[in-house]
């Protein structure tokens, strides 16, 4: 069988690497972006995903990369993994997705499975089924197979999912997924088959729930700070209950990335469309919007205003281990600090992140090393918990900095870590020196 993966971002490439390394079938990756295809053909992998890139490299003789629409011929299974960003009003922008559906309708030349991996507007699976199978020559069996990959471990998550959520119309579709995911089936990974709507909602509800967990702990951090508690202790105390769990319970400057903000907004939008108040999702988003604002206020308070203060922003990507700056708290903080007159330098261990940050902020000195960013500043602001940041010693900071203020938006240090610098974090007592 020929498998065609359409859209070669995190999801598409992880799907492609999985198919190639787990079957003897023909595997083709298609993307409209010719540069991306050319780079992939020359082993130039643009994502900072070590395991994924290694697998793609090892499989290079098996995978065909192309931008040619001819790839849509003779396909037995299409996997759609194109982007579905947010529109201004929170609705899901499905334009790229429906272009692919149009291409399938026009160019496919026999029956095929159409597996939806993109996070799509709820109702899409049924709609696509109707669109593709209306007075067509061929039958397309539509399968909703939402992905649950995190950036920085995209391939590992694709290989070892906690569960499969599968929206299907018939037994044949389910059998197909069980066949291609045989190893997981044998390993006892649960397969939940359901309607398309339920599968699509499972994806949104999962992301919204995780986002809510983060906003919940962030709300608690505000109270802890006022009452003299320590949010890290509180989070440990809560997370030890297996019904709660430690994961996604770290307070910080808020969640970013291409998924949580977009998916909570999409649910709120769907609620509005259906006259249902999505109060919890609204609150999750509100806490997340105000969280960096409160952190900014703390920076302003401790530095007695930021005008003409030299500040280093450390951690530009929305989380450690990725080069992705989408909806990163660093964007909001940089913009606000600049507006208030601060002189900013910036650094992220990821070159991709630094380069894309530079494009958005020409007046910020984006540095190629941590030391250069920190040199001569009055304060440093940590916004991600990268290993490089965790390992920075106070002696090194003291040598480089002019001032003595450390703001930690991810609680990466203990409140006792700094002996000579004032340390201000989230939901914990300030250690002022």
Catalytic residues: 259
Alpha-carbon distance of 106 to 112, in angstroms, equals: 13
* Of residues 41 and 326, the one with the C-beta less far from ligand UGA: 326
Residue 257 interacting with ligand UGA (CB under 6 A)? yes
256 in contact with ligand UGA (CB under 6 A)? yes
Give CA–CA dist 364/367, Å, rounded. 9
Give 141 or 250: the residue with its C-beta nearer to ligand UGA.
Answer: 250
Contact mark string toward ligand UGA, 322..341, x via CB under 6 A: --------------------
Instruction: Based on the shown chain and the rule CB under 6 A, indicate whether residue 250 belongs to the binding site for ligand UGA.
Output: yes
Q: Which of 140, 155, 318, 405 binds ligand UGA (CB under 6 A)?
A: 318
| Binding flag, residue 232, ligand UGA (CB under 6 A) | no
Query: Residue 422: phi, psi to the nearest 5?
Result: -75, 130
Q: Is 147 in the site for ligand UGA (CB under 6 A)?
A: yes
Burial 297-333 (b: 16+ CB within 10 A, else e): ebbbeebeebeebbbbbbbbbbbbbbbbbbbbbbbbb
In angstroms, the Cα distances linking 214 to 81, 246, 278 are 27, 11, 17
* Least distance between ligand UGA and beta carbon 260 (Å): 5
In the complex, minimum distance from the CB of residue 151 to ligand UGA, in angstroms, rounded to a whole number: 4
Q: Pick the stretch among 25-33, 131-139, 248-256, 368-376 that binds ligand UGA (CB under 6 A).
A: 248-256
Residue 155 interacting with ligand UGA (CB under 6 A): no
Which tokens sit at 296?
């900014």
**DSSP β-bridge partners for residue 78:** 4, 114
Tell me the C-alpha distance between 187 and 160, whole Å.
Answer: 10
Pick 259 or 370: Cβ nearer ligand UGA: 259
Nearer to ligand UGA, 249 or 343 (CB): 249
Minimum CB separation of residue 225 from ligand UGA in Å reads 16
Give the one residue of 21, 66, 150, 422 binding ligand UGA; rule: CB under 6 A: 150
Q: How far is the CB of 156 from ligand UGA (least distance, A)?
A: 12
Cα-to-chain-centroid distance, residue 338: 26
Separation CA 146–CA 161 (nearest Å) = 11
Task: Select from 45, 46, 98, 148 the one that contacts ligand UGA (CB under 6 A).
Answer: 148
Q: Check residue 49 for interaction with ligand UGA (CB under 6 A).
A: no
Distances (CA, A) of 417 to 32, 390, 413, 420: 50, 11, 6, 9
* Binding of residue 413 to ligand UGA (CB under 6 A): no
Report the nearest approach of ligand UGA to the CB of residue 368 (Å).
23
Tell me how far CA of residue 395 lies from CA of 375, 404, 421, in angstroms. Answer: 13, 12, 10
Provide CB contacts within 8 A for 365, sequence distance 6+.
344, 345, 346, 373
Rg over CA atoms, the chain: 23
Binding site for ligand UGA (CB under 6 A): 119, 147-151, 207, 210, 214, 248-250, 252, 255-257, 259-260, 318-319
């Amino acid at each position: 069988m020929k498998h065609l993966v359409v859209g070669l971002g995190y999801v598409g490439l992880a799907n492609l690497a999985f198919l190639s390394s787990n079957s003897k079938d023909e595997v083709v990756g298609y993307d409209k972006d010719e540069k991306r295809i050319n780079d992939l053909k020359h082993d130039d992998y643009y994502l900072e995903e070590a395991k994924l890139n290694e697998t793609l490299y090892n499989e290079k003789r098996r995978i065909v990369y192309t931008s040619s629409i001819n790839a849509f011929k003779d396909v037995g299974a299409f996997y759609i993994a194109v982007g579905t960003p947010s529109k201004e009003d929170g609705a899901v922008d499905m334009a790229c997705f429906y272009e692919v559906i149009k291409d399938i309708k026009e160019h496919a030349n026999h029956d095929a499975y159409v597996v939806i991996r993109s996070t799509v507007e709820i109702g899409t699976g049924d709609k696509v089924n109707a669109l593709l199978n209306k007075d067509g020559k061929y039958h397309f069996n539509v399968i909703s197979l939402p992905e649950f990959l995190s950036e920085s471990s995209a391939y590992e998550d694709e290989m070892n999912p906690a569960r499969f959520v599968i929206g299907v119309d018939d037994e044949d579709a389910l059998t197909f997924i069980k066949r291609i995911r045989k190893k997981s089936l044998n390993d006892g990974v649960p397969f939940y088959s359901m309607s398309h709507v339920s599968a699509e909602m499972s994806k949104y509800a999962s992301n919204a729930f995780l986002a809510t967990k983060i906003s919940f702990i962030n709300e608690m951090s505000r109270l802890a700070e006022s009452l003299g508690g320590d949010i890290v202790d509180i989070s440990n105390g809560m997370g030890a209950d297996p019904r709660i769990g430690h994961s996604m319970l770290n307070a910080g400057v808020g969640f970013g990335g291409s998924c949580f903000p977009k998916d909570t907004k999409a649910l709120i939008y769907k609620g509005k469309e259906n006259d249902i108040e999505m109060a919890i999702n609204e609150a999750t988003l509100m806490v997340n919007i105000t969280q960096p604002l409160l952190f900014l206020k703390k920076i302003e308070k401790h530095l007695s205003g930021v005008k003409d203060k030299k500040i280093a922003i450390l951690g530009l990507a929305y989380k450690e281990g990725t080069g992705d700056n989408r909806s990163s708290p660093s964007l909001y903080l940089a913009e606000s600090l600049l507006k208030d007159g601060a002189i900013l330098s910036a650094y992220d261990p990821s070159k991709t992140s630094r380069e894309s940050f530079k494009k958005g902020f020409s007046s910020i000195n984006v540095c190629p090393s941590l030391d250069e960013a920190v040199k001569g500043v009055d304060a440093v602001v940590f916004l991600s918990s990268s290993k490089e940041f965790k390992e920075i010693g106070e002696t090194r900071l003291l040598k480089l900095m002019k001032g003595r203020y450390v703001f930690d938006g991810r609680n990466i240090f203990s409140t006792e870590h700094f002996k000579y610098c004032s340390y201000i974090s989230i939901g914990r007592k300030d250690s002022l020196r």
